[in-house]
């Protein structure tokens, strides 16, 4: 099954404390969001991926902020089941293509989307969604590129997510609102589970 069809929202998480990785993943899964993107923005991100992969088998954990072939090999070795990049270069998409796991390459312009379609890639990350044009932009892309589907990420909130999800070319959205920094710091897993439950009900 496509990554875009597993859940209406993919939590995009930044993990500062590796000890929070497993309880965080369990809270998200309990709330109905089994697909989790751990961004490679902290020193513990890869270890966090490894712990989630080992201890929360019901979660599909992936690595975000993929920028290099080294990121790809280290993430897959840690147990990442998918990869997400903020943008796409030729060498990066070739490396992701060779990784053996599903991936969502980032694109923000029509030309970038068309370049990926030429390579047979029709499921993409649209980033930064709000800054790059948001719902009207994606709606406009649906005319000339009706066979391409997106996971828009960047600036989306619980109140704007339904507008994206209503578009026929949007499979899911990525969101950081599900894991507020204060909830993570406090270990308030109940709050995160509730936010996940609300997001899971968006579609």
Instruction: Write out the catalytic residue numbers.
Output: 37, 125
Number of residues written out for the chain: 203
Rounded Cα–Cα distance for residues 173 and 4 (Å):
8
Beta bridge partners of 80: none
* H-only helix segments in the chain: 21-30, 45-55, 69-78, 90-97, 110-118, 134-141, 161-165, 181-186, 189-200
Q: 86: Cβ–Cβ under 8 A, 6 or more apart, which residues? A: 64, 65, 66, 67, 106, 125, 127
Q: In what order do the strands lie in the sheet with 123-126?
A: 106-107, 123-126, 149-152
Rounded Cα–Cα distance for residues 50 and 39 (Å):
13
């Amino acid at each position: 099954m496509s990554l875009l069809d597993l859940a209406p929202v993919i939590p995009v998480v930044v993990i500062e404390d590796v000890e929070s990785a497993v309880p965080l993943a369990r809270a998200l899964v309990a709330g109905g969001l089994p697909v989790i993107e751990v961004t490679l923005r902290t020193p513990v991100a890869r270890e966090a991926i490894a712990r989630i992969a080992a201890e929360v088998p019901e979660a599909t954990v992936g690595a975000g902020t993929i920028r290099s072939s080294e990121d790809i090999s280290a993430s897959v070795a840690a147990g990442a089941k998918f990869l997400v990049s903020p943008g796409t270069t030729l060498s990066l998409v070739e490396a992701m293509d060779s990784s053996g796991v599903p991936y969502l390459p980032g694109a923000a312009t029509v030309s970038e989307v068309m370049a990926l379609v030429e390579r047979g890639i029709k499921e993409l990350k649209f980033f930064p969604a709000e800054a790059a044009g948001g719902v009207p932009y994606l709606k406009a892309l649906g005319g000339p590129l009706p066979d391409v589907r997106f996971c828009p990420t960047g600036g989306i909130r619980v109140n704007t997510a339904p507008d994206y999800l209503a578009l026929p070319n949007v499979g899911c959205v990525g969101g950081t609102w599900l894991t507020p920094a204060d909830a993570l710091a406090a270990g308030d897993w109940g709050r995160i589970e509730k936010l996940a439950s609300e997001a899971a009900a968006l579609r």
